[in-house]
A and B are shown apart, each in its own frame.
Chain A
Amino acid sequence: MNRSFARGAIYNNLSYCYTYPNEEVCSWLMNGRWMEEIHTALIILTEKPEGLFPPFEGLLAEKTLPGLGSEYARLFNAVAPPYGSAYFGKDGLVPANRTSELCRLYHEARFTLKKDMKDFPDHIVHELEYMGILAGQEGQASGRTKIGLEEMQMNFFSRYLLPWVSEFCKRVAENSRSGFYLSLSLLTGRFINLEKDYLGVPEELK
């Protein structure tokens, strides 16, 4: 497995972790293979993966799962909106041009959000999944295509993900009543920092 696939795997798994914990998602979380997958991928990305991977063991017991949905609603509806635009507009308002810009970007990469997707295009689930898709494509590409995909990732990451995810993770970590979401936010924040070093930031944003 190359580095791109490893990054893609982490993005994809993190994305799924941030979806609403319905029965299907809970069963996937309980299965635990996502943890193995992220851990394995981190070994490829860094020499010291231990410090990046917070403890998840015991946080997803059968008895805690029923409360996960209400914690998700409390946390992400009020305390830590999982939308990029909530962190940019004044008073938390959604700047419409930002979300339409994001849709255009998805379209330019020949992707569109599925019609039954009921969240804004700047939901963390979509932004992480999109990065996962690009990283996965990069893993299979070569030459100019590969370079192009790297640039797309750098641009998307630095303009749309990086500016708000740290604040989002901080709010989750400070307010979470669930050990799972606390650990998830720590892992996300650390991975985003790792990516920042790897992908870099365009000159004009420095």
Chain B
Amino acid sequence: MADKFTLHFIDYAIMAIYFLFVLGIGWALKKYMKSSSQFLEGGKSIPSWITGLAFISANLGALEVFGMGASGAKYGLMTAHFYLIGAIPAMIFLALFMMPFYYGSKARSVPEYLKLRFDEKTRGFNAFSFAIMTIFASGISMYALARLMEVMLHWNFNYSIVASAVIVLVYTYLGGLKSAIYNEVLQFFLIVVGFFPLVFIGLQDVGGWEGLTMKLNDVAVGKGFAAGTWTSTWHYLGSASTNPMGVDWFGMFMGLGFVLAFGYWCTNFLVVQRAMAANSMSAARRTPLIGALPKMFLPILVIVPGMIAIALMSRPENGLQLIGDNGQTDYNMIIPSMLVHYYPTGLLGLGITALMASFMSGMAGNVTAFNTVFTYDIYQSYIVPGKSDNHYLKVGQFATIFGVAVSIGAAYVAANFNNIMDFLQLVFAFVNAPLFATFMLGMFWKRTTGNAAFWGLITGTAAAALHYSLTIAEGKGGWIAQLVEYPSGMAQGFWTAIYAWSVCFILTIVVTFFTKQLKTDADLRGLVYSLTPKTYDEPGIPWYEKPVIMAVIIGAISIVLTIIFW
């Protein structure tokens, strides 16, 4: 398959022009990078439509494009739960309830909030686990990019790694967070325009939505499920045995919709950092809401291609083969394979550029989150405190180089373990799930103590590891014993998250009653709900920019979408 097409001059020209613009944005922002706050926080000066698009674009890396496409094929439209229940409610909650604490407090990062609210050790634990997590996430996007260049364009894997690392390094080193955010917006539009024709032609090929539904009915029946399983969201969630994901409504609602979604969107500094760079409190609160609007429609771009692919692949005469097919089906390659299958010279260049844009935004997003946490929460806190701001600006720039360099290492680790993506999903369940319990208690219950938060977090993470060690799914986990077998890795991940969150939540409450609150009410002003003055919108903003009104509209649209695709 990979040999049946070649790229022409025009395809390379499109890629080259894109790289020129990306580097140019970094270059143009270079002269503004005069302080650590400019470099690491974007100077808190960016309008909300930009931070809002960057908010979702920083996520649209390899994990989302490969993972959601693959899940669209394996589980069908059910994958849209990652958007409708797995993102929108959490983004609304972040905007309305949590943003005032992040943006209103003096915290420059999520770990720093934990220090102000709880204590030094809670921050340290979160800063280190987050730093390691971002490096792996960035390395995986880098690996995915280089692997793609290798199988699609026959470029050398090592050169591709170095080339992508250098480009991302140059524009994040020159323009810092602001350059990453601006480029994420550019990349977002490019991803939309690069993938949309694929969905358009693909749908036409299978006979529209009706034709797709009919073909997927055959696929579902062929795999032993009811006919509509691949084209519905909630309908077959009554029991775990009637859907391919092997999850029932409770696991979906609690595991994905509550613990994992809120844990990821509300506490992960990668996304929260984008909102914190906004130019006012109401702009910061609007950021997740502006992101939520296009987020609801992303399944069309990333999940529907997977559904089209599985429908076409059920009949070999359709001629769709997955790239890098060595006898086994690699669902991760669905979107690249379909680009090659449908796109002529010219558009193919644009499609590949869109893929590169996606992976680069994934890399740059993680690198800019890493350098901030490294500089403020690790270097300034534990290694060399009390220096001039210029010193920390230099360290931030150095941390950018360091972060990219370590990501290269992580990319080679990813290349050697074929299940690295599952591994990272697992790390999210270990790190983010218990952290959300800590945040909920910390933000809404002023009695919660630092010691309780720390031990709750450690035990919650340990509970996640223990649950994973005692259960097995698709041959993974079960290091100690195999007490329960889940039908899919996703089901296992959801339940791991539920146990981790519950253990952290309960233990933090229990320990709080046995430990002394060391923070006074004055310390906690602006950090805890009951001690913070209510947030008012800036006077004179129009109704459609008010966070509460936007949240109601977005909630209503997502409910309508849920009902239509029930």
Partners in one complex: no
Interface residue ranges, B against A (CB under 8 Å): none
Task: Name A's B-contacting residues (CB within 8 A).
Answer: none
